[in-house]
């Protein structure tokens, strides 16, 4: 159950939010995020990489969100209506969590070869914020390639959430942990408020 600021839940009501789930043990935390968003009245669309489905099944997220889960670009019932284009065009916000080292590299180099990267590539980030919540082993986090990709993504307009530090499932201790579900929900609410402030400044 969400233990944060109730005002954040109100900010999420009626919002259309995509959650991209990548492969990682931390994906279990995202179940709580999706549940909280749905209970707050948000319309949640979950997209998953093929490997993410080895950790949590699409049926779990479908049950929590109350909506079909995007798992393949080939599943659209109507070829004239690509599901990733339709989903991306209607979003208020997107979160990729856990965002793996591999997904950071995909997004930094403009690849769109899985359902999550394809959805993100279809989002107009000038209009819709995309939040990345990196999660990986602390050695992977410190790799120069990871840090270069993070710098590129920030320069490209992505919002990168800092990972937490602590004990990891690989028995390492250090930075790279996915933030707790309530922290991710709070980050989404704040991103929506920031988008509103930006819109008002431009009006």
List active site positions: 170
DSSP conformation class of 70: B
Instruction: Write the CB contacts of 80 (distance below 8 Å, at least 6 apart in sequence).
Output: none
Strands 173-177 and 164-167: antiparallel
Which position has the token pair 């950071």? 104
| Secondary structure E strands in the chain | 16-21, 43-48, 93-99, 129-134, 159-160, 164-167, 173-177
For 163, half-sphere exposure in the C-beta direction (CA atoms, 13 angstrom radius) is: 28
| Residue 131 near residue 191 (C-beta atoms within 8 A) | yes
Instruction: Note the Cα 113 to chain centre separation in Å.
Output: 17
Buried b (16+ CB within 10 A) or exposed e, 52-68: bbebbebebbeebbeee
């Amino acid at each position: 159950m969400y233990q944060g600021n109730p005002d954040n839940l109100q900010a999420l009501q009626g919002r259309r939010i995509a959650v991209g789930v990548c492969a990682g043990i931390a994906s279990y935390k995202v179940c709580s995020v999706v549940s909280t968003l749905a209970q707050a009245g948000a319309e949640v669309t979950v997209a998953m990489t093929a490997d993410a489905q080895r950790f949590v099944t699409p049926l779990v997220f479908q049950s929590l969100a109350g909506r079909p889960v995007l798992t393949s670009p080939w599943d659209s019932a109507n070829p004239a209506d690509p599901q990733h284009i339709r989903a991306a065009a209607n979003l208020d916000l997107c979160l990729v969590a856990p965002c793996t080292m591999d997904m950071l590299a995909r997004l930094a180099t403009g690849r769109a070869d899985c359902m999550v990267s394809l959805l993100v590539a279809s989002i107009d980030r000038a209009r819709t914020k995309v939040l990345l919540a990196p999660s990986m082993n602390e050695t992977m986090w410190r790799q120069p390639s990871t840090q270069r990709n993070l710098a590129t993504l920030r320069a490209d307009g992505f919002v990168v959430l800092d990972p937490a530090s602590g004990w990891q499932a690989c028995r390492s201790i250090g930075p790279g942990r996915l933030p707790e579900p309530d922290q991710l929900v709070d980050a989404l609410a704040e991103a929506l408020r920031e988008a509103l402030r930006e819109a008002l400044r431009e009006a």
